Amino acid sequence: MVWIILACIISLSPARAWAGAGAIALPFLKIDSGARASALGGAYSAAGEGASSIFYNPAGAALSDRKEFEISHNDWLEGLRNENLAYTQPISKNHTVFGGANLLFSGTMDKYNASGVKTGSFNSQEGAFNFGVSTDLGDQYYCAAALKALYQKADKDSANSWAGDAGLLKISGDLRFGASVSNFGTKMKLGSRAFDLPLILRAGAGKRLNDQFWFLADIVKVRESQAAFCAGVEAGFDIDENEAFFARAGYKSDRSQYTGSGLTAGIGIKSNNLRLDYAFAPYGDLGDSHRITLSFRFGVMRENIPVKNKYPSGQDTSSRQTPAAKDKTPTEKKTANEQEDEGILFVW
């Protein structure tokens, strides 16, 4: 299959083929976005659904059955803050629009001249803003494309650039296969130098077991780096009819001896249309990262949900009506649908 072929190409490509001359622009785009994905070691190209997917494989946005808004805060390393905003909205039975922002703030830093003398302070900001469309291609194939505006500012210097993201997703029963490419576009010029963008290739697979467990694996290749292997596992447990608890663990390879083992962990809790997730990622001598994500789903459900999903609570979000509902009057049908909508679970 195309997914396996792409995974092999990514994993076997020589590092020099992707090596850039010097540093790359906006390296923060390599940081994991969202607590769930971060806890799963970044293995998210196949499992992502809804708003959280747009930073990994935007084709996952096609699985949104309602509007969804997500906000994420990451206390990263050495006082850096990484913030994410994401939004998805179905506009027809086959199309979903989405948008997001990925931001990095440095805080105040000391500034020195060429002689090493402190001359004051400065701060820097980096950001990526994307907007795109995901589509149901039929036979449980999904694709997406997005345009991305990039911005970087360091002291008095600033730069802008444009890039694109694209993704594919295939669902086959309890199996999923995903592939994506992120940040392909023009170079970014800051001062007198131009820098390549951090082109990221992902390919992965996910297996759903007993409607409770996810087993995930990705291969990730960044322009100047060796291919990394990512893996994650998630377990969901019912609290009651509308609430569930999630436990996660992940691993990412290609870490240096000073940046930790690559192990990650996290938890999450869902209550009706709200979901709160937390992820912990140690980085060895550099410190620890703590990420919190809050998601909210709202609005009218899509008429034909792209794919039937089951969750740990066992609730079925299929748009098919039960035989009893078909026999009701139009008024009774509306009431039944509204009642079903009140307890709807998150799409993940």
Confidence of residue 115 (pLDDT cuts 50, 70, 90): confident
Average of pLDDT values for 92-117? 83
Residues 209-222 pLDDT 10s: 998 999 999 999 99
The pLDDT value given to residue 310: 43
- Name the 3-class secondary structure at 340: helix
Confidence of residue 330 (pLDDT cuts 50, 70, 90): very low
Average of pLDDT values for 98-117? 80
Looking at the domain assignment, is residue 348 inside a domain?
Answer: no
Considering the entire predicted model, what is its pTM? 0.79
Looking at the domain assignment, is residue 321 inside a domain?
Answer: yes
Q: Which residue has the higher pLDDT, 345 or 213?
A: 213
Q: Report the distance separating Cα 259 and Cα 287, nearest Å.
A: 8
8 A C-beta contact, residue 269 and residue 245: yes
Looking at the domain assignment, is residue 24 inside a domain?
Answer: yes
% of the chain surpassing 70 pLDDT: 78
CB neighbour list of residue 34: distance below 8 Å, 6 or more residues apart? 44, 52, 55, 70, 72, 84, 86, 277, 291, 293
Looking at the domain assignment, is residue 169 inside a domain?
Answer: yes
Looking at the domain assignment, is residue 62 inside a domain?
Answer: yes
The pLDDT value given to residue 71: 97
CB neighbour list of residue 308: distance below 8 Å, 6 or more residues apart? 316, 317, 318
Looking at the domain assignment, is residue 261 inside a domain?
Answer: yes
Residues 259-315 pLDDT 10s: 778 899 999 999 999 999 999 998 887 888 899 999 999 998 887 777 655 444 333
- Name the 3-class secondary structure at 323: helix
Looking at the domain assignment, is residue 157 inside a domain?
Answer: yes
Owning domain of residue 135: 2-342
8 A C-beta contact, residue 56 and residue 29: no
Q: Chain-wide mean pLDDT for the chain? A: 81
The pLDDT value given to residue 246: 97
The pLDDT value given to residue 274: 95
Residues 145-172 pLDDT 10s: 999 999 988 777 788 999 999 999 999 9
- Give the CATH number of the domain where residue 179 resides: 2.40.160.60
Question: What is the number of domains present in the chain?
Answer: 1
% of the chain surpassing 90 pLDDT: 53
Residues 48-73 pLDDT 10s: 787 989 999 999 999 998 999 999 99
Residues 194-213 pLDDT 10s: 889 999 999 999 999 998 99
Q: DSSP for 3-44, please give it.
A: HHHHHHHHHHS-GGGT--SS--S-GGGGS--SHHHHHTTT--
Average of pLDDT values for 42-53? 89
Looking at the domain assignment, is residue 15 inside a domain?
Answer: yes
Residue with tokens 């009218």, as numbered in its chain = 300
8 A C-beta contact, residue 200 and residue 31: no
Residues 225-271 pLDDT 10s: 889 999 999 999 999 888 999 999 999 997 777 777 889 999 999 99
